[in-house]
Amino acid sequence: PILVYMCKVDGKFKFSPVSVNFLTEITKVIFAIIMLFFQARRVKVGEKPLLTVSTFVQAARNNVLLAVPAFLYAINNYLKFTMQLYFNPATVKMLGNLKVLIIAVLLKVLLRRRFSTIQWEALALLLIGISVNQLKSLPEGSTALGLPVAAGAYLYTLFFVTVPALASVYNEKALKSQFDTSIYLQNLFLYGYGAIFNFLGLVITALVQGPRSFHILEGHSKATMFLICNNAAQGILSSFFFKYADTILKKYSSTIATIFTGVASAILFGHTLTINFVLGISIVIISMHQYLANQIKDQVPSSKIEMSDAEDDSRLVESVIVKVDTVASEAKHRHGSDERQPLLPV
């Protein structure tokens, strides 16, 4: 949010936000390709190669679900710029944490994730902390898009919270459903879809506003270049959270970024750290501690569960066989060849 704020000139953007999102997706695609080449060089003898046409086509078919979060992320990335027209960077970051509750509900419904009672209470505390921070955050009497600023801001907040929540849950579902596929190959598909959707956004904008509005590189500065690199790094790191950790854990980790954003905004832009912000952050930190301290055992991908169950059954059968053989040997040693003696104690 700080970089987005720095990109504004006289309260507006001199570049197309969609072009920034498009260049961000291209950056992530290039990174995924580079990492795939490095990973392919380390493939051991006997393992399935990564850079063959058959592997790529099969992985593309298995990971077609990644198109859903890619489309939702394309919308959300545009909303991030729009939100900056209503709120300062620290407020935007705090509003982003509202996604946690929606994510928890979606995880429970779509992925059947389990949460303890204390964890639900922790999520409620998170919302309270955010609400405390947002008290009197909107200037009175302002207007935007012909609507009272409160109505316009809350409308964008609704989309700003719901769209990325859906994207995060579907992203985790898609990445973990093909757990054995290389994360860099999955990222290549995800970011490739994202680049396509953002490019379509540029084309639609050009059709509506005229060919002159088709600007990909116009109006960019050093701040936007930093913004593109930062957003690309954020997306790449998020994919590791979604595949190997948990969506809510990823959102809770952003509370640390919220504190940093608030302090940095005060230092760089002179924004005031109000008592509401301090109280809100305190409640959020307590919420985070309660949630993480009362986690139910992490969910494991179904393929891993099946393999684990099979291994447990195999070990159980082996232990029973060994036990039977041992007892039978002892019985034979004590009673000779008398088959009337039980092999196992009654």
Structure tokens at 216: 């990909």
Q: Quick: pLDDT tens for 163-188.
A: 888 888 989 999 998 888 889 999 99
pLDDT at 89 (0 to 100): 65
Nearest to 37, CA basis, from 54, 57, 51: 51
Share of the chain above pLDDT 70, in %: 73
Lowest mean pLDDT among 106-110, 141-145, 268-272: 141-145
- Band (pLDDT 50/70/90 cuts) for residue 263 is confident
In terms of pLDDT, which residue wins out, 66 or 151? 66
Strand intervals (E) in the chain: 8-9, 12-13, 143-144, 147-148
Q: What count of other Cβ atoms lies within 10 Å of the Cβ of residue 334?
A: 9
Global confidence as pTM: 0.70
pLDDT mean over 69-89? 80
How wide is the angle at C-alpha 156 spanned by C-alphas 151 and 158, nearest 5°? Answer: 95
Structure-block tokens of residue 108: 């429970």
Task: Please give the distance of CA 40 from its chain centroid, rounded to a whole number.
Answer: 26
Specify whether the CB–CB gap between 247 and 172 falls below 8 A.
yes
Tokens of 51: 């850079």
What's the pLDDT band for 97 if we cut at 50, 70, 90? Answer: low
Which tokens belong to 180? 């054995």
Residue 28 has pLDDT above 90, yes or no: yes
Q: Are strands 143-144 and 147-148 parallel, antiparallel or unpaired?
A: antiparallel
What are the tens digits of pLDDT across the range 191-234? 999 999 999 988 888 888 777 767 787 778 888 889 899 999 98
Residues 245 and 176: beta-carbon distance below 8 Å? no
